[in-house]
Amino acid sequence: MQRKILGLLVLLLAGCVLLAGCTGTTPAPNTTTTSSVNQSDLKDSYIIGIDNAYKPFSYQEKDGSFNGFDIESSKWIANKLGFKVEHQAVAWDGMIPALQAKKIDMVYSGMTILEERKAQVAFSKPYLKINQSVAVRDDSTLTFDDIMAGKAVIGTQRGTSGEAEVQKLIDAGKMPASNLKTFDNFPLAIQALVNKQVDATVYDKPSTIEAIAGQPVKIIGDIDTNEQYGIAIRKEDTVLLDAMNRGLDLLMADPYWDELKAKYNLTET
């Protein structure tokens, strides 16, 4: 009888040890939230490539600081998502190479979403739509139809969708390639127009309006390209792409978005 009782006590003690062992190896609950994981995936700061002569989107002030619609937009998003941004001026035709070489982390400077660019980089959701404008000197007798027929020497900024539109005239056999003149930035193209080095310019409408202010130049028509601006990011940087898309959603749902558009005369965009 005593042996049976002793055996029963041994079995009960062994069971308690086993139960204690199971309880001790139970993992602690995961207390990390999804938002903190997403935040930790982002870097503390990012470098944004911009065109520094591209009013009203991105331009450099006399004191060296940067200003413009895209500058303020990017700062708002960065502040909302909890990281810092540094803006760096890059030659426009070298913008995507600089992104691919990791000299900058994104291009947020009125870059049109084009198929040839999508082959090289990823784009955020569109945030603005624009068209191209054709400008001539005030004393010019050229018409919009003349320009579209290739009957002019046309200036624009190198590497832009404006250049692509003029290239279409060349490809269609409407004008010789020598009639296309490209410049490092659009203000230089307008200066060439004023100096009668070119007969007309083709460029983004908002920036054309800014560039011709106070100049003897007028817009004679728009090319309905219905372009869409997006933020360019390296294809492998999916975390940053998702973050900027989320940031754009937040920005465009905030009253600040309409305030910015009004400030930079983009309310019709």
**Domains of the chain, with CATH numbers?**
42-129+229-263 (3.40.190.10), 130-227 (3.40.190.10)
User: In which band, very low, low, confident or very high, does the pLDDT at 12 lie, cut at 50, 70 and 90?
Assistant: very low
Question: Does the pLDDT value for residue 30 go beyond 60?
Answer: no
- On average, the pLDDT of the chain sits at 88
pTM, two decimals, is: 0.81
pLDDT in tens, 232-260: 999 999 999 999 999 999 999 999 999 99
CB 106 within 8 A of CB 49: yes
pLDDT in tens, 46-62: 999 999 999 999 999 99
Question: Which pLDDT score, from 0 to 100, does residue 40 have?
Answer: 72
Measured in Å, how far apart are the chain's first and last C-alpha atoms?
95
- Give the type of residue at 84: K
- Give the type of residue at 101: A
pLDDT in tens, 110-138: 999 999 999 999 999 999 999 999 999 99
CB 190 within 8 A of CB 115: no
pLDDT in tens, 140-189: 999 999 999 999 999 999 999 999 999 999 999 999 999 999 999 999 99
User: What is d(CA 61, CA 226) in angstroms, rounded to the nearest whole number?
Assistant: 30
pLDDT in tens, 37-47: 366 789 999 99
